[in-house]
């Protein structure tokens, strides 16, 4: 299925400042309603959930919360879902696009910090970093994998980051139009960094909180999957 071939149930954008929150969701019926409610409580009404072929009641829960929903009829991956949502936001006039996880790891109150960083620091992208926060509570193995991922990203693309695989980001409209996500699955996070480097997009890292629950840890990437992503990144960089 073409990534633009989606069903749209509800339009949006009625605020003066066009901020769109894009959420990629796959089998997130347990958390998605809470995530949307939290965003709305902070004043974010332009919420786009891309359902990536879920087998559960994710779509039903999103409809209950009256958020915009786009649907992939097969599971294509988080990268493809973000691409669908970002393209939709751009076509509907978004000035700022927020990527936000569906598993309730991110704090919606921190979106303002990322947007302020883009507006005030003369940059086009704000990347969330859990490692810039004090009192970190990151599982040990996860911490090691993330640190190795940051080193790997620096080795491949020459971009120094403290947290290269954090899904909490803000793009300006200009940056979102320049960044072309073609990796359908989880390696899209590394491709975004590659696109930032290739297009010489100014960016800044901003401290964000990541809340680890049993649910979010179960939904997250395993260490073995992270290794496989690393090999795919190497293939893409040197052999593709």
What structural domains and CATH numbers belong to the chain? Answer: 19-238 (3.90.550.10)
Handedness of CA 221, 222, 228, 234 (dihedral sign): positive
8 pLDDT exceeds 60?
A: no
In the structure, what pLDDT confidence band is assigned to residue 6 with cuts at 50, 70 and 90? very low
* Mean pLDDT of the 106-112 span: 97
Identify the pLDDT of residue 143: 78
Tokens of 77: 């991956």
Identify the pLDDT of residue 2: 35
In the structure, what pLDDT confidence band is assigned to residue 230 with cuts at 50, 70 and 90? low
43 pLDDT exceeds 70?
A: yes
3-state secondary structure the chain: CCCCCCCCCCCCCCCCCCEEEEEEECCCCCCHHHHHHHHHHCCCCCEEEEEECCCCCHHHHHHHCCCEEEEECCCCCHHHHHHHHHHHHHHCCCCEEEECCCCCCCCHHHHHHHHHHHHHCCCCEEEEEHHHCCCCCCCHHHHHHHHHHHHHHHHHHCCCCCCCCCCCEEEEHHHHHHCCCCCCCCCHHHHHHHHHHHCCCCEEEEECCCCCCHHHHHHCCCHHHHHHHHHHHHHHHHCC
In the structure, what pLDDT confidence band is assigned to residue 1 with cuts at 50, 70 and 90? very low
> What digits encode the pLDDT tens for the residues 64-98?
999 999 999 999 999 999 999 999 999 999 999 99
In terms of pLDDT, which residue wins out, 186 or 192?
192
Residues paired with 72 in a beta bridge: 52
231 pLDDT exceeds 90?
A: no
Identify the pLDDT of residue 10: 40
* Mean pLDDT of the 24-38 span: 97
> What digits encode the pLDDT tens for the residues 188-216?
888 999 999 999 999 999 999 998 877 76
141 pLDDT exceeds 50?
A: yes
């Amino acid at each position: 299925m073409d990534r633009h071939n989606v069903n749209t149930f509800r339009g949006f954008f009625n605020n003066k400042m066009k901020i769109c929150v894009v959420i990629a969701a796959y089998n997130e019926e347990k958390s998605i309603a809470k995530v949307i409610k939290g965003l709305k409580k902070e004043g974010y009404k332009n919420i786009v959930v891309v359902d990536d072929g879920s087998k559960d009641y994710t779509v039903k829960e999103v409809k209950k919360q009256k958020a915009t929903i786009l649907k992939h009829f097969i599971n294509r991956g988080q990268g493809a879902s973000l691409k669908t949502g970002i393209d939709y936001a751009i076509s509907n006039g978004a000035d700022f696009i927020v990527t936000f996880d569906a598993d309730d790891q991110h704090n919606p109150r921190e979106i303002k910090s990322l947007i302020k960083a883009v507006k005030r620091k003369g940059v086009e992208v704000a990347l969330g970093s859990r490692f810039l926060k004090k009192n970190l509570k990151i599982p040990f193995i996860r911490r090691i994998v993330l640190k190795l991922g940051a080193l790997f990203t620096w080795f491949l693309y020459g971009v120094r980051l403290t947290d290269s695989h954090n899904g909490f980001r803000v793009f300006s409209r200009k940056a979102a139009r320049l960044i072309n996500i073609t990796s359908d699955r989880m390696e899209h996070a590394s491709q975004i960094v590659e696109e930032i480097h290739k297009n010489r997009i100014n960016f800044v890292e901003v401290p964000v909180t990541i809340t680890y629950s049993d649910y979010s840890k179960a939904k997250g990437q395993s260490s073995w999957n992270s290794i496989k992503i690393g090999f795919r990144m190497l293939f893409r960089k040197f052999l593709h």
